[in-house]
Amino acid sequence: MQRGYFSGLDVVRLRLRSLFRRERVEQELEEELQFHLEAKMAEFCAKGMRAEEAREAAIREFGGVELSKENCRDARKTSLAHDFFQDLRHGARMLRNSPGFAAVAILTLALGIGANTAIFSVVNAVLIQPLPYPNHNRVVRIRENHPAYSASNLTYATFLDLRRSAKILKNATAYGPWVFNLTGEGEPERIPGGLVSANFFTALGTHAMLGRTLTPEEDRLGGNNHVAILGYGLWTSRYGADRNIVGRRIHVNAEPFTVIGVMPQGFEYPEKALIWCPLVPDGELHANRRAHVVEAIADLPEG
């Protein structure tokens, strides 16, 4: 072990010396090769060759003096570093002599790197990383085709038909992105969230971290609709991660709502939602087939 250590250390020292004292090392290399060349010439002369023939034979055996030098440099692994620094100096001179070109090149590189980073972030989030829900591989989004548009949201009447008659779907649920105004206990805030059916969280296979999610009675006209579920980010930023938040009254759109649960970190569907309240559609929407106002997802049964 000790012998190998010092051998490796000697190699490092040789490479550093070859890199930073190149002229001296090149001179030593020249002298060493000349020594070996002369020794080989003497060997050939001793066999009866003339001096000129012996020199040519020695050079042929070495494969050429310059080629031998290059092989020695490659063995020391210094050519790559030397070429890199040489290219770097050349590039710096070019950029200094052409500042306009340098600015354009740097800007192009910055835009290219930024664009690639942004594209990878989107691809990573959408295609590579799985959705942060336990049954992410079974959740489907349901769209409706009609003459005016190729694919759109559903009418609530269509959603009710779907929930009643679909045989290959379970936990079909309706929701809509919404923005809520929170007042009291701090500065007023506009918080992105969602109006959701009672089985919205069940369809995504997710449970509350604290408290619970919605019940069917809370998603029904005439029921206790003034309840709210907080996202992890809202719970920590506005309410200081208070673990006694469940049962507390907060003001949503200037009305008192009771907090019934807190969702786990990472659950922010739809569209970075941080609060969820019951959808409770107006009774007129139950028969309306013109207002495409809800989005729908469902959980495919296993198998």
Instruction: Tell me which of 44-53, 142-151, 230-239 is least confident.
Output: 142-151
Residue for token pair 């029904």? 220
> What is the rounded distance in angstroms from the CA atom of residue 208 to the CA atom of residue 17?
64
- Up-side HSE of residue 210: CA atoms within 13 Å toward CB? 20
Identify which of 242, 223, 222, 233 has the alpha carbon closest to the alpha carbon of residue 276. 233
> What is the rounded distance in angstroms from the CA atom of residue 155 to the CA atom of residue 159?
6
Q: Which two structure tokens, joined as six digits, stand for 246? A: 């469940």
Q: Which amino acid, one-letter code, is at 84?
A: F
For residues 13 and 215, the model is more confident at: 215
Look at residue 266 and give its three-state secondary structure. Answer: coil
Is the CB of residue 102 less than 8 Å from the CB of residue 264?
Answer: no
Q: What percent of the chain has pLDDT over 70?
A: 78
Phi and psi for 227 in degrees, rounded to 5? Answer: -130, 155
pLDDT of residue 131: 63
> What is the rounded distance in angstroms from the CA atom of residue 148 to the CA atom of residue 47?
100
Q: What predicted TM-score, i.e. pTM, was given to this entire model?
A: 0.58
From the CA atom positions of the chain, what is the Rg in Å? 38
Is pLDDT above 50 for 116?
Answer: yes
* Per-residue pLDDT tens digits for 65-75: 666 666 666 55
pLDDT of residue 54: 78
* Per-residue pLDDT tens digits for 218-235: 988 888 899 999 999 999
For residues 185 and 206, the model is more confident at: 206
Is pLDDT above 70 for 169?
Answer: yes
Q: Which amino acid, one-letter code, is at 217?
A: E
Could you tell me whether strands 227-230 and 255-262 are parallel, antiparallel, or unpaired per DSSP bridges? Answer: parallel
* Per-residue pLDDT tens digits for 252-267: 999 999 999 999 998 9
Q: How far is the CA of 6 from the CAs of 19, 252, 290, in angstroms?
A: 20, 73, 83
Look at residue 183 and give its three-state secondary structure. Answer: strand
Is pLDDT above 60 for 87?
Answer: yes
